[in-house]
Structure 1
Amino acid sequence: MNLIDAIGCEHTPIAPGETPRIVSLVPSLTELLCELGLARSVVGRTGFCIHPQETVAAIPKVGGTKDVNIDKIRRLAPTHLLVNIDENEKPAVEALAQFIPHVIVTHPMTPRDNLALYRLLGAIFRVEQRAQQLCDAFEHEYAALAAAPRGRPQTMLYCIWKDPWMTVSRDTYIASMMAEIGWQCWQAPDAARYPKFAWSDALVESIDGVLLSSEPYRFTQAHADALERQIGKPVQLVDGEMMSWYGSRAIDGLRYLRILATG
């Protein structure tokens, strides 16, 4: 198979017996690498790479997803860099590409894109069997989700930030996750993928409910209760990791969607 990443760059598998040195700048990809049995090959990660907790605690931090320490990464002498189009800054990735031989760019847009992601990393790092096991687990959960009962289709406003209020567009992984259970993501007039918005009577009238994510803004039940009183529509807290993290956590995310779908 051709090993093509999200920007069309072709990759080759590591040499037999080679031990790669991987820096991951994406929390969900760091977790996926660990699930693929590659934790010992991960030599750098961001401070937001928190799963699996005990495993990543031993991996050096190299900054955040958008403010990486390029000099520290250089000293780690990585052979591979894992990044994501949405989560990492292009200038930083270009600077890192000057001395990291292999830069793998990812951009899952729908839940089923995870299958290609598993296979891509599995083939590059020669852990195809474990990658196939993840594919099988994903397909099992996806079939269970498709067979699960669900309520009527609804238009939901998914909030990721407050002061200013921000949401997601329909052209996002989160919106695709919502669509799996018949929830259409409310679309702001702003064409941005993560637009700001202001509450109005017209907005409230156009939605069936609100979802407050646990990340990146840490919404709480107090926020949900106050907003529900304000707008008079159902407001629900949702697990942001389950809704937005691709990689191996997407398997748990499908199971989480079943819970949301059945209320």
Structure 2
Amino acid sequence: MSRIFIDQIGNHHSFEIVPKRIISLVPSQTELLYDLDLEESIVGITKFCVHPFHFKSTKKIIGGTKKVHFEKIRLLQPDIIIANKEENTVEIVEELSKICPVWVTNIVTVEDNLKVISDFGQLFNKRTEAQKWIDKINFGLEDFQQFVKDKDVQKAAYFIWANPYMVAAGNTFINEMLKINKLENIYDNNPKYEGRYPEVVIQKMRIQGDPDLVLLSSEPFPFTDQHAFELGRHTHHAKTVFVDGEMFSWYGSRLVKAFQYFKKLQESL
């Protein structure tokens, strides 16, 4: 008898049996699948799926997140492909849907993230493992919220790219992580900029929010001290901090490590 599941963009998927051959197009979701004890089921990953490290030599690389090798994927005979609304394009998802079901996640909040873990637990018959990670994340969140409860809110700008300069704005997982850290994103709901990762004019930072903190992500762009100096010049008093981009932008099981990282970051601020 078929089991019907609904992914996070509303697509219905029917499976006669538990999917056994999985391809992941999203680095953080590859890590989550591994942590749900699904290593043997994962047959294909992207070149950006760097955790766990040994997957680079044990799993088939099928391209990147925005450009995949369709024939390599077809030859792997997957039962399911795991994609993400932000990471992968509509065109890729539509083309891959001709090969097998494509499960699309859409993660902005911690609640969205917990839903993905629960969904994977149901989908791959790993309910016990999923619940363990859900419990760990809920505990970590509650513990961290207690840790920062007496801290003042600070204004922040989170940069992800230079030449041109781009930031994480509203309706992003990064923005949610900033909120948890009691950091008010000056580009959240800023009417001057459209989109989730807008290109910004750094010379206008003072009049458009004048942040207390300028955060430079370790990915996807390799920021340098020169960038930090240049950005700092366009604020009145901001402290410029290099931060681990994986901790702010990777969802899935990574949140457990992220909360511990955030504690250390808060102490340095």
TM-score for both structures, normalised by structure 2: 0.90
Partner residue in 2 for 1:242 = 247
Q: Is the 8 A contact 1:62 1:72 kept in 2?
A: yes
Q: Is the 8 A contact 2:19 2:80 kept in 1?
A: no
What amino acid is aligned across from residue 109 of structure 2 in structure 1? T
TM-score for both structures, normalised by structure 1: 0.92
Are residue 153 (structure 1) and residue 153 (structure 2) matched?
Answer: yes
CA distance in 2, matches of 1:217, 1:133: 33
- After superposition, what is the alpha-carbon deviation per residue over 1:71-130, rounded to whole angstroms, capped at 9, x for unaligned? 111111111000000000110110010111x21100111123221111100110001111
Are residue 204 (structure 1) and residue 206 (structure 2) matched?
Answer: yes
Secondary structure of the corresponding residue to residue 141 of structure 1: helix
Are residue 213 (structure 1) and residue 232 (structure 2) matched?
Answer: no
CA distance in 2, matches of 1:14, 1:132: 24
What amino acid is aligned across from residue 79 of structure 2 in structure 1? T
Structure 1 range deviating more: 20-29 or 204-213: 204-213
Partner residue in 2 for 1:166 = 166
Q: 1:22 to 1:90 in 2, by over 3 A?
A: same
Partner residue in 2 for 1:224 = 228
Partner residue in 1 for 2:196 = 193
Aligned pair count reads: 259
Instruction: Work out which of the residue numbers 247, 255, 266 in structure 2 matches 1:261.
Output: 266
What amino acid is aligned across from residue 248 of structure 1 in structure 2? S
CA distance in 2, matches of 1:57, 1:103: 25
CA distance in 2, matches of 1:104, 1:256: 30
CA distance in 2, matches of 1:57, 1:222: 36
For residues 1-263 of structure 1, the aligned pairs below 5 Å read 3-11=5-13, 15=17, 20-100=20-100, 102-149=101-148, 151-187=151-187, 188=190, 189-200=192-203, 202-205=204-207, 206=209, 207-229=211-233, 231=235, 232-262=237-267, 263=269
CA distance in 2, matches of 1:134, 1:53: 20
Secondary structure of the corresponding residue to residue 148 of structure 1: helix
Structure 1 range deviating more: 190-199 or 5-14: 5-14
Taking every aligned residue pair, what percent have the same amino acid on both sides?
A: 36
- Listed as ranges, the gaps of 5+ residues in structure 2 are none
- After superposition, what is the alpha-carbon deviation per residue over 1:6-63, rounded to whole angstroms, capped at 9, x for unaligned? 1112345662xx5611110000001111001111111111000000102443101000
CA distance in 1, matches of 2:53, 2:78: 22
CA distance in 2, matches of 1:156, 1:40: 42
CA distance in 2, matches of 1:4, 1:254: 29
CA distance in 1, matches of 2:43, 2:141: 33
Q: 1:259 to 1:111 in 2, by over 3 A?
A: farther
- Listed as ranges, the gaps of 5+ residues in structure 1 are none
What amino acid is aligned across from residue 6 of structure 1 in structure 2? Q
Shift of 1:180: 0.7
Secondary structure of the corresponding residue to residue 126 of structure 1: coil
Shift of 1:254: 2.1
What amino acid is aligned across from residue 223 of structure 2 in structure 1? F
- Show structure 1 runs of 4+ deviating over 6 A: none
Shift of 1:170: 1.3
CA distance in 1, matches of 2:134, 2:5: 17
